A and B are shown apart, each in its own frame.
Chain A
Amino acid sequence: MKHLFKGIAVGAALLSAQPALSADRELLNTSYDIARELFASYNEVFKEHWQEKTGETVEIKQSHAGSSKQAQAIIQGLKADVATFNQVTDINILHDRGGLIPENWADRLPNNSSPYYSTMAFLVREGNPKNIQNWDDLVREDVDLVMPNPKTSGNARYTYLAALGYAQETYGDDQEKIDQFMSDLLSRVKVFDSGGRGATTTFVERGIGDVLLTFESEVLNIADRFDNGEYQPVTPKVSFLAEFPVTWIDDYVEQNGTQELAKEYLEYLYSEEAQRLLAGFNYRVHNDVVKEENADRFPALQLKTIDEIAGGWENAMETHFASGGKLDQLQRRR
């Protein structure tokens, strides 16, 4: 029994020995799973900014998991002040099923409440041996592709939509040709992983495939990490606008008394300082000065929105990714 109490005492001591004791304010940011380092850096910048502005110190807690899981957790009572996701649909759910934010949440901050964005790009092996330049190179018989599964991964849905955008641009109203192109592309995929990180592992660690299809930010990250040019990024001429939406969660910030803090936390993402930091993490940003500085890393391209390609997210999910939808039909064609 004595040991037991000792154990509890030690545990409690360890728990309470954490920081947070000293901060005046606290904020909980729920985010997608690969954004940890990004927000670890941004939080330092923001803490300084908030202290300069108000004199208060602030402790920012981070929660990271897949953004659909995070949305579920918030609906079930995870009292997050802000959500910084990589899927617009996952924020919509907070309104549709949770009633926690107003329907027009996207209009509350500039650029559709997406302070940074990315697009879908290709990663090829050293010297680009298969000479991959654009989407039509991907359907050649000698090219093997690696991407996650559009059924389970948002990342892969983006790639699917980006390819669809290219096909629509190229073939216009010829639905048969568009379908053929999409079906050819899917049939070139050698491995469908369940998530984006898994696909990266397949391509990099297992050495499978000629082209990895994923976010431009991930493509640039990998190219940077292997400094020796083992991998090269290729940005196609047409691609998809992948937004990274943010919102404060009205019901919870009211309960937590963090309205101003949460709002400022998100608004400051649009500041020049934060935008430069985001660009450093290989995301595309809106600030003109920072854009200019990074012009060579982010080549100009034609970005199509979800509305142009599939008439909005709801429609896209229903027509393309639902069971028996377009994706299933295309995969059955061969």
Chain B
Amino acid sequence: MASQQHRVGDTPWIRRTLIASALILTMLMLVIPLVVIFAQALSSGWATFAENIGNEYTLHAIGLTLFVAALTVPLNLVFGTSLAWLVTRFRFPGRKLLITLIDIPFAVSPVVAGLLYLLLYGRNGWVGSWLTEYDIQLMFSWPGIVMVTVFVTCPFVARELIPLMQQQGTEEEEAGVVLGASGWRIFRRITLPNIKWALIYGVVLTNARAVGEFGAVSVVSGNIRGQTNTLPLHVELLYQDYNIVGAFASASLLAAIAILTLVAKAFVEWRQSRPEHPAPEKGGV
């Protein structure tokens, strides 16, 4: 074929300039800041780093952050999968609208999301004033933090699954139905293996966002040290205290989680791009 055909800008020096500028931008905007986080965190030595991480409040912030993620991820896993199943396997009025509505958390600024929850579930809110009568407190305690985190991260799993499940169609599942399998069995033996890697990808993204969420959590947390302070809030707090090393030590934990996420994401993408059942090379009738 005409692989030698010249495209616009395909001269060596244009190519080199483009590559160089991409590289320089990547270094300036991504790599150097990341390196700086770790360099700052360790700028006063490992002992100070360990002391900052081992601080009672930092440990609590880490624990709370993991706790929130551990509740958020399974909730959104179930929610996202059910939703994707619903909108790709059934036709009903309002289906298109529902697919659009899933994206609301992406469209809304997290701070606004936090405020919405506060106005609804806070002491003077519609639901909140009723809950107060029964002495149930959601805002400014961990349930509130979980609620907004679930809200902010709920599209990730569904968004990963919907295109894939639409593309795969329903044939295999219909065959299952014809052969008399139960719904649960169809899901487990046919649907789940097909969407496995997309599902894991969605979970990885959900987890990354749940751990790193700042805006929405900041509104409903109440910033109580050793009680409702998550790791991102803790970073800000330390920074405002002029404890730069401490702030960067905590930030380096978040950065480490981000890097782990990227590795996991790259691995999942690699697995996804490999066909699960390679087509028979010969002899297929």
Interface positions of A (Cβ within 8 A of B): 4, 7-8, 10-15, 17-20, 28, 30, 33-34, 36-37, 61-65, 73, 75-79, 197
Is A37 a contact partner of B140 (Cβ separation < 8 A)? Answer: no
Is B132 a contact partner of A77 (Cβ separation < 8 A)? Answer: yes
Known contacts: A15-B64, A63-B224. The answer to whether A77 contacts B122 by CB under 8 A is: yes
Known contacts: A64-B237, A75-B123, A197-B240. The answer to whether A14 contacts B60 by CB under 8 A is: yes
Which B residues lie within 8 Å of A4 (CB)?
70, 73-74
| A63-B224, A76-B140 known, 16 other contacts, Cβ within 8 Å | A4-B70, A7-B66, A11-B67, A14-B66, A18-B60, A30-B222, A61-B224, A61-B226, A61-B227, A63-B222, A64-B237, A77-B128, A78-B139, A78-B140, A79-B137, A197-B240
The contact sample of 25 A-B pairs, CB cut-off 8 A, is A4-B70, A4-B74, A7-B66, A7-B70, A11-B64, A12-B67, A14-B64, A15-B63, A15-B64, A15-B67, A17-B63, A30-B222, A34-B241, A36-B237, A61-B225, A61-B226, A62-B224, A62-B225, A76-B118, A76-B128, A76-B140, A77-B122, A77-B123, A77-B128, A78-B139
Interface: B195 (CB within 8 A): no
Residue on B nearest A34 in the bound complex, by CB: B240
Which A residues lie within 8 Å of B63 (CB)?
11, 13-15, 17
Which B residues lie within 8 Å of A78 (CB)?
139-140, 222
Candidates A19, A33, A63, A75; contact of B56 at CB < 8 Å:
A19
Interface positions of B (Cβ within 8 A of A): 56, 59-60, 62-64, 66-67, 69-71, 73-74, 118, 122-125, 128, 132, 137, 139-140, 142, 222-227, 237, 240-241
Is A73 a contact partner of B71 (Cβ separation < 8 A)? Answer: no
Is B222 a contact partner of A37 (Cβ separation < 8 A)? Answer: no
Q: How far is the CB of A4 from chain B (nearest CB, A)?
A: 6
Is A8 a contact partner of B71 (Cβ separation < 8 A)? Answer: yes
Which A residues lie within 8 Å of B60 (CB)?
14-15, 18
Candidates B70, B123, B140, B225; contact of A8 at CB < 8 Å:
B70
Please give me the 7 A-B residue pairs with the lowest Cβ-Cβ distance, nearest first. Answer: A14-B63, A11-B67, A77-B123, A76-B122, A7-B70, A78-B140, A63-B224
Which B residues lie within 8 Å of A18 (CB)?
56, 60, 226
Which B residues lie within 8 Å of A76 (CB)?
118, 122-125, 128, 139-140
Which B residues lie within 8 Å of A75 (CB)?
123-124
Which B residues lie within 8 Å of A62 (CB)?
224-225
Q: How far is the CB of B49 from chain A (nearest CB, A)?
A: 20
Q: How far is the CB of B115 from chain A (nearest CB, A)?
A: 10
Is A14 a contact partner of B224 (Cβ separation < 8 A)? Answer: no
Which A residues lie within 8 Å of B226 (CB)?
18-20, 61
Known contacts: A14-B67, A18-B56, A197-B240. The answer to whether A77 contacts B139 by CB under 8 A is: yes
In the bound assembly, the distance between CA atoms of A63 and B64 in angstroms comes to 16
Which A residues lie within 8 Å of B227 (CB)?
61
Interface centre among A13, A18, A28 (most CB of B within 10 A): A18
In the bound assembly, the distance between CA atoms of A14 and B64 in angstroms comes to 8
In the bound assembly, the distance between CA atoms of A77 and B71 in angstroms comes to 24
Which B residues lie within 8 Å of A8 (CB)?
67, 70-71
In the bound assembly, the distance between CA atoms of A74 and B71 in angstroms comes to 27
Q: How far is the CB of B112 from chain A (nearest CB, A)?
A: 15
Q: How far is the CB of B214 from chain A (nearest CB, A)?
A: 13
Interface centre among B60, B74, B142, B222 (most CB of A within 10 A): B222
Residue on A nearest B233 in the bound complex, by CB: A65
Is B225 a contact partner of A73 (Cβ separation < 8 A)? Answer: no
Q: How far is the CB of B220 from chain A (nearest CB, A)?
A: 9
Is B223 a contact partner of A63 (Cβ separation < 8 A)? Answer: yes
Which B residues lie within 8 Å of A14 (CB)?
59-60, 62-64, 66-67
Which A residues lie within 8 Å of B62 (CB)?
14
In the bound assembly, the distance between CA atoms of A311 and B52 in angstroms comes to 47
Q: How far is the CB of B276 from chain A (nearest CB, A)?
A: 22
Residue on A nearest B140 in the bound complex, by CB: A78
Which A residues lie within 8 Å of B74 (CB)?
4
Which A residues lie within 8 Å of B139 (CB)?
76-78
Q: How far is the CB of B231 from chain A (nearest CB, A)?
A: 12
Q: How far is the CB of B257 from chain A (nearest CB, A)?
A: 14
Q: How far is the CB of B109 from chain A (nearest CB, A)?
A: 17
Is A64 a contact partner of B225 (Cβ separation < 8 A)? Answer: yes
Q: How far is the CB of A210 from chain B (nearest CB, A)?
A: 23
Q: How far is the CB of A84 from chain B (nearest CB, A)?
A: 14
In the bound assembly, the distance between CA atoms of A4 and B75 in angstroms comes to 11
Q: How far is the CB of B269 from chain A (nearest CB, A)?
A: 22
Which A residues lie within 8 Å of B124 (CB)?
75-77
Is B70 a contact partner of A11 (Cβ separation < 8 A)? Answer: yes
Which B residues lie within 8 Å of A28 (CB)?
224
Which A residues lie within 8 Å of B128 (CB)?
76-77
In the bound assembly, the distance between CA atoms of A77 and B139 in angstroms comes to 7
Known contacts: A7-B66, A8-B71, A15-B63. The answer to whether A64 contacts B56 by CB under 8 A is: no
In the bound assembly, the distance between CA atoms of A7 and B63 in angstroms comes to 10
Residue on A nearest B135 in the bound complex, by CB: A255
Q: How far is the CB of A120 from chain B (nearest CB, A)?
A: 21
Residue on A nearest B240 in the bound complex, by CB: A33
Residue on A nearest B238 in the bound complex, by CB: A36
Which A residues lie within 8 Å of B142 (CB)?
15
Q: How far is the CB of A247 from chain B (nearest CB, A)?
A: 18
In the bound assembly, the distance between CA atoms of A62 and B128 in angstroms comes to 24
Is A37 a contact partner of B241 (Cβ separation < 8 A)? Answer: yes
Q: How far is the CB of B110 from chain A (nearest CB, A)?
A: 16
Known contacts: A8-B71, A11-B66, A11-B70. The answer to whether A73 contacts B140 by CB under 8 A is: yes
In the bound assembly, the distance between CA atoms of A14 and B57 in angstroms comes to 11
Interface centre among B56, B70, B227 (most CB of A within 10 A): B70
